[in-house]
Structure 1
């Protein structure tokens, strides 16, 4: 820690920084999840948008607000899920899922 403190090459009130001036904190993560800023989530976003639109259309068909083939749409969703570039344990990586170790 002495070397770490001297590597700052700075002074506090005219005195060089010492070990007593530095506070070091560490965070231990027991459970890590993907955030919306992670590269994998961003790359999967176009697929997530299309999947969400298809799910919305399926709900509209079920409520008789739209005409369409639900079976075909569910097939498209499955295809998009498998085509997403970033997968973990066979599932598309989305915000909030646990990261594997």
Structure 2
């Protein structure tokens, strides 16, 4: 079977900690207006893609970004699977 699978991978949208040059780790800060705008633009850019599945870490910023992309791309019917194993690596109080 020669079934082709394509993965689309993106980072979460910009957050306040990104603006302040702070390492977020597992701390969660909301998306900035710019982060929301860019996620919307990405979703619109993916509007011709019929997603089969969507996965995200369980962090709020990642979930919010994924939901915006799915809504803007016309794939809001796709279930978003949240999995803590997709979080960035934790380095404690580094």
Fold-level similarity (TM above 0.5): no
When the two structures are superposed, what TM-score results if normalisation uses the length of structure 1? 0.30
The two structures have a TM-score, normalised by structure 2, of: 0.31
Q: State which structure, 1 or 2, has the greater radius of gyration over its C-alpha atoms.
A: 1
